[in-house]
Amino acid sequence: MFVLSPTPIRSILFSPFSHKSPKCAPLFTKAEYHHYIFDATIKHTHLNLGPLTRSYGSIQKSKRILGLRTTNTTLKARALTIKNEAGNTPRCVVLDIEGTTTPISFVTDVLFPYARDNVRMHLEGTYDMTDTKDDINLLRSQIEDDLQNGVVGAVPVPSDDAGKEEVIAALVTNVEEMIKADRKITSLKQLQGHIWRTGFEKNVIKGVVYDDVVQAFERWHASGVKVYIYSSGSRLAQRLIFGYTNYGDLRKYLCGFFDTKVGNKRETKSYVEISESLGVDKPSEVLFVTDVVQEAVAAKAAGLEVIISVRPGNAPLPENHGCDTVETFTEIPF
């Protein structure tokens, strides 16, 4: 069983430090800037999380980190008991995106507004294309369900006979409501992926990935740990966000992508399906990292190892969630 060596994090966090906004990070919110400083401080002081040890230890987590409240728990760096030929580490890591590899603010302040602002133009410009026809069919069937279930904001979409303009107007109204409600449904996510593709390919959008994630990708790549993504965003959107990042094309580090076609991220059977797809002997050979407690619980119930990602801007965690947490991937002990 492996643990992180206790490290004097508190003394580093509260050391005097000259705060100067990084000029090259225009998409960063204040919270992300604090996170940037936090990472930089750690690097600056050559923080060494220490070797993997076979003893047990704990990290006393600070209650306030640079003004951001975190859960005041003692993180028992719990064992990852998976064994493989390389040692007692997971063979596979599956990562959520929003709030885990990427700031939530990038999704809510950049991606979602881009989709909302461009949905009409996208539908008008691509109406007769196969991808868009598929998207519209999926949306139609979702909207029919929504209307039957009384979902607020759903409006009927007329048949094609009503003409392109009317169909698009109704679709736009529905899609705007879906985005506002942050619905994690395949029909919306598929369409969003197609809209974002233009933005990424034209260099209007760049995927934001935390630097500690890139370091972990390199580490895992070197040690033979396979990395996968499981996000509500479509597989196309996932490839775009990691293909066009602030660190270049990171897809070389990724072995595969799972989206909502595997199932809802809050359902245990989705994680059973994923671990079976990965070809591991036991689900516990897979580590899943997410910021969403319900996803962590579902994955745990499927037998996966789980860590909750605590990033600036993430929703607060409930007390007694019972999972290990990390603030950066540097803390993941392999």
- Give the residues lining the site for ligand L4RZE5RM (CB under 6 A): 96-98, 107, 111, 184, 189, 192, 231-233, 237-238, 241, 265
Decide whether 103 or 333 has the Cβ nearer to ligand L4RZE5RM. Answer: 103
- Least CB distance from residue 39 to ligand L4RZE5RM, whole Å? 21
- Least CB distance from residue 171 to ligand L4RZE5RM, whole Å? 18
Nearest to 230 by CA among 197, 282, 278: 278
- Least CB distance from residue 291 to ligand L4RZE5RM, whole Å? 7
Decide whether 75 or 111 has the Cβ nearer to ligand L4RZE5RM. Answer: 111
**Strand 226-230 versus strand 254-258 pairing type:** parallel
Distance CA 26, CA 146 (A): 38
Distance CA 56, CA 78 (A): 8
Decide whether 61 or 184 has the Cβ nearer to ligand L4RZE5RM. Answer: 184
Decide whether 160 or 201 has the Cβ nearer to ligand L4RZE5RM. Answer: 201
- Least CB distance from residue 239 to ligand L4RZE5RM, whole Å? 9
The conformation of residue 248, written as its DSSP 8-state character, comes to B
- Least CB distance from residue 313 to ligand L4RZE5RM, whole Å? 13
Helices (H), the chain: 9-13, 30-44, 104-106, 112-126, 130-148, 164-180, 186-201, 211-223, 235-243, 268-278, 293-301
Decide whether 225 or 289 has the Cβ nearer to ligand L4RZE5RM. Answer: 289
Tokens read off for 199: 């933005």
**Angle subtended at Cα 124 by Cα 118 and Cα 130, rounded to the nearest 5 degrees:** 105
Tokens read off for 59: 């990290």
Decide whether 2 or 288 has the Cβ nearer to ligand L4RZE5RM. Answer: 288
Q: Which residue is nearest to ligand L4RZE5RM (CB)?
A: 233
- Least CB distance from residue 156 to ligand L4RZE5RM, whole Å? 26
Tokens read off for 114: 């881009």
Strand partners, 256: 228
- Least CB distance from residue 182 to ligand L4RZE5RM, whole Å? 7
Decide whether 51 or 316 has the Cβ nearer to ligand L4RZE5RM. Answer: 316
Residue 279 CB contacts under 8 Å (≥ 6 apart), including other chains: none
Decide whether 280 or 292 has the Cβ nearer to ligand L4RZE5RM. Answer: 292
- Least CB distance from residue 184 to ligand L4RZE5RM, whole Å? 6
Q: In sequence order, what DSSP letters do the residues of 164-217 get, joined into one string?
A: HHHHHHHHHHHHHHHHHTT---HHHHHHHHHHHHHHHHTTS--B---HHHHHHH
Mapped onto helix, strand or coil, the DSSP state of residue 260 is: coil
